[in-house]
Amino acid sequence: MNNPIASLNRRTLLLLAGGTIAVVVTIIIVLARSPKKVIAHPEKAVAHENGLRIEFKPNSPGLEIVKSTVIGGGGEFVSLEAPARIIASASPSVSSGNRIILFESSELNDLYVGYIHSKNKVYRSRKNLNRIEDMYKHRVATEKDLVEAETELGNDSAELAEFEGKLRAQGLNPNELASGGKNKSWIISDVPESQITSLNKGKKVKLVFASFPEEEFVGIAEAIGDNVDPLTRTAKMRIAVVNVGFKLKPGMFGTVRFPEETESQSVVLPYNAIVTVEGKNYVFVEEVPLNFKRREVVLGVSTKERVNIIEGLQPGEKVVIQGSILLKGLSFGF
């Protein structure tokens, strides 16, 4: 005898199994009919004109780190700061009241003393030569005496030039040391080679010394040394300041600020916008969207954060201020 409940269960299972198969078939058909998504691969930036122009696509890798901005606007300036120290100072002698020069080191003092002695020797040698020449004209001195006098003057002059050269290498002018006032101090500051053309003789500068942090002194830039240090690439700038009350002592350290007010049409950039290759400085200008052109520029006064551009850019141009290193690599093939 057939069991009606068992028959019912079998029909139910068959219906469920059929439904499941239908659902699976439907899913397979839908998946088969769905179009495949095309994955867009990033397009690399392309260098044109031997790296002079870099072209990006909207999905180029690295584009997200490249930021550019419109430059200019006027009213901007850069103040160069450099370490400074008092290298020499004029002071009245305790014993005689006469003017003497005090130096920051015994080596400088010895150089100056040697210079003074050599200068006196040249003076005596020249007078002696004049005397021998006069005697030679009157047949009182021999030609040998004349040659010896000329040789002596030449040797003494060479010695004087050697001492003067060593003093100038330290940033000091021995003639100005001798003719300065009784309360004058000389400060030496090591200025980066790239800034030499921006710092002119006679420029007023501000000085702050560690011994007097709340007091600001005003000095005059007198001259830039004749030598550039091959290791630090700096030149020595000599600054004169009136030493009121003789409070400034040789050897004191401080900071000198060279204010450089730019003109209304000048350009100031973040220093990291500059890339340097083989001694030349470049920036990247976004002349059209996603196209960056390399351009050589001439730098003016700069600090660790900002730099004044003397030549190569005009206000209103759009310049890369972030991501310059990436563009440098693409442009020069690094």
The mean-pLDDT minimum among 41-55, 183-197, 210-224 falls in: 183-197
pLDDT in the model for residue 266: 66
pLDDT in the model for residue 13: 44
pLDDT tens per residue, range 252-276:
999 988 765 545 456 889 989 999 9
**How many angstroms separate the CA atoms of 334 and 327, rounded?**
10
In contact, 84 and 208? CB cutoff 8 Å: no
pLDDT in the model for residue 132: 95
Banded pLDDT at 198 (limits 50, 70, 90): low
**How many angstroms separate the CA atoms of 315 and 101, rounded?**
50
pLDDT in the model for residue 196: 73
Name the residue type at position 72. Answer: G
**324 token code pair:** 């310059």
In contact, 315 and 264? CB cutoff 8 Å: no
In contact, 54 and 292? CB cutoff 8 Å: yes
**How many angstroms separate the CA atoms of 303 and 257, rounded?**
11
**How many angstroms separate the CA atoms of 83 and 207, rounded?**
10
Q: Rg of the chain's alpha carbons, rounded to an integer? A: 39
pLDDT tens per residue, range 276-310:
999 899 999 999 999 999 999 988 777 778 888 88
Is the pLDDT score of 16 beyond 50? no
Is the pLDDT score of 5 beyond 70? no
Name the residue type at position 292. Answer: F
- Tokens 């007097």 label which residue? 212
In the 8-state DSSP scheme, what is residue 199?
A: -
pLDDT tens per residue, range 50-102:
999 999 999 999 999 999 999 876 556 666 778 899 999 998 877 776 788 99
Q: Which phi-psi region, left, alpha or beta, contains residue 97 (left: φ > 0; alpha: ψ -120 to 50)?
A: left
pLDDT in the model for residue 244: 85
Work out whether strand 212-228 and strand 234-242 pair parallel, antiparallel, or are unpaired: antiparallel
Name 94's Cβ contacts closer than 8 Å, sequence gap at least 6. none
Instruction: Please compute, for residue 136, the number of CA atoms within 13 A of its CA located in the half-sphere on the CB side.
Output: 15
**How many angstroms separate the CA atoms of 64 and 205, rounded?**
42
Angle among Cα 89, 90, 94 to the nearest 5 degrees reads 120
**How many angstroms separate the CA atoms of 320 and 204, rounded?**
34
Mean pLDDT, the chain, rounded, equals: 83
CA end-to-end span of the chain? 92
Find which of 162-166, 199-203, 311-315 is predicted with most confidence, using mean pLDDT: 162-166
Mean pLDDT, residues 97-123 taken together: 92
Banded pLDDT at 40 (limits 50, 70, 90): low
Name the residue type at position 315. Answer: P
